[in-house]
């Protein structure tokens, strides 16, 4: 789990998140490939529960995402999604991942953002075939290093985007 406190109300945080493409949202400068584009698999925008898209990565690989829950009407707001069909080399051991953002309006007007991620490893591949020990290896050498850094960088960039001063005359949301 990674978290960030943003100096803005929940409505502004959600509006900026909704207006920012995945390519601009995910911050990746390490060994993981970055997002280069998305293509809808279901009609409409990637907004309601059930919406699916293919995400293209800089190494030529892809993955599929589907929204499980999107609730923005009240605090805490929740966005939960599942990712599968990873084709990038680093993710070959992963069967699927579930991500969850919870945005909570704090009493002082700021917003707490918590991002959690969980993965199910393929049990017929390394390190998954080691069972619990393989899960431990995956967590220690991938999740707590490369993936956690990507999550922290993404939350930091999102915080900066929301807190960036708006041009004169542009209303706060």
The number of residues making up the chain comes to 173
pLDDT of 168 above 70: no
DSSP one-letter code for 110:
-
Give me the percent of the chain exceeding a pLDDT of 90: 84
Phi, psi (deg, nearest 5) at residue 122: -70, 130
pLDDT at position 171, please? 58
Span 57-64, average pLDDT = 96
Give me the percent of the chain exceeding a pLDDT of 70: 95
- Residues 71-80 have pLDDT tens digits of 998 889 999 9
Span 54-66, average pLDDT = 97
The domains of the chain are located at 2-163
Question: Which has the closest alpha carbon to 83: 103, 102, 62?
Answer: 62
> Cα angle vertex 115, ends 114, 116, to 5°?
120
Span 53-82, average pLDDT = 96
* Secondary structure class of 30 (helix, strand, coil): coil
- The beta-carbon contacts of 74-78 under 8 Å, at least 24 apart in sequence, are 75/10, 75/103, 75/104, 75/105, 76/102, 76/103, 76/104, 76/105, 77/10, 77/14, 77/101, 77/102, 77/103, 77/104, 78/102, 78/103
Q: Could you tell me where the beta strands, DSSP code E, fall in the chain?
A: 2-6, 35-40, 52-57, 62-71, 77-84, 94-105, 111-121
How far is it, in rounded angstroms, from Cα 98 to Cα 80? 7
Q: Helices marked H in the chain — which ranges? A: 10-19, 22-25, 132-138, 148-163
pLDDT at position 38, please? 98
* Secondary structure class of 21 (helix, strand, coil): coil
Q: Which CATH architecture has domain 2-163?
A: 2-Layer Sandwich (3.30)
For the chain, what is the mean pLDDT?
93
pLDDT band at 90 (very low <50, low <70, confident <90, very high): confident
pLDDT at position 170, please? 61
Span 29-42, average pLDDT = 92
pLDDT of 169 above 70: no
* Secondary structure class of 132 (helix, strand, coil): helix
Span 84-111, average pLDDT = 95
- Residues 117-154 have pLDDT tens digits of 999 999 999 999 999 999 999 999 999 998 999 999 99
- Token pair 């993404």 is found at 154
pLDDT at position 14, please? 96
CA torsion through residues 37, 42, 48, 54, sign: negative
């Amino acid at each position: 789990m990674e978290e960030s406190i943003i100096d803005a109300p929940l409505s502004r945080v959600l509006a900026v998140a909704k207006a920012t493409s995945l390519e601009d949202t995910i911050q990746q400068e390490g060994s993981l490939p970055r997002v280069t584009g998305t293509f809808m698999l279901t009609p409409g925008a990637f907004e309601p529960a059930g919406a699916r898209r293919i995400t293209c990565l800089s190494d030529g690989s892809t993955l599929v995402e589907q929204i499980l829950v999107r609730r923005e009407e009240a605090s805490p707001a929740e966005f939960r999604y599942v990712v599968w069909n990873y084709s990038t080399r680093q993710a070959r051991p992963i069967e699927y991942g579930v991500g969850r953002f919870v945005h909570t309006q704090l009493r002082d007007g700021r917003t707490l953002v918590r991002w959690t991620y969980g993965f199910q490893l393929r049990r017929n591949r390394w390190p998954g075939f080691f069972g619990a020990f393989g899960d431990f290896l995956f967590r220690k050498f991938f999740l707590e290093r490369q993936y956690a850094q990507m999550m922290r960088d993404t939350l930091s960039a999102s915080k900066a985007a929301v807190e960036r001063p708006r041009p004169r005359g542009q209303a706060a949301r």
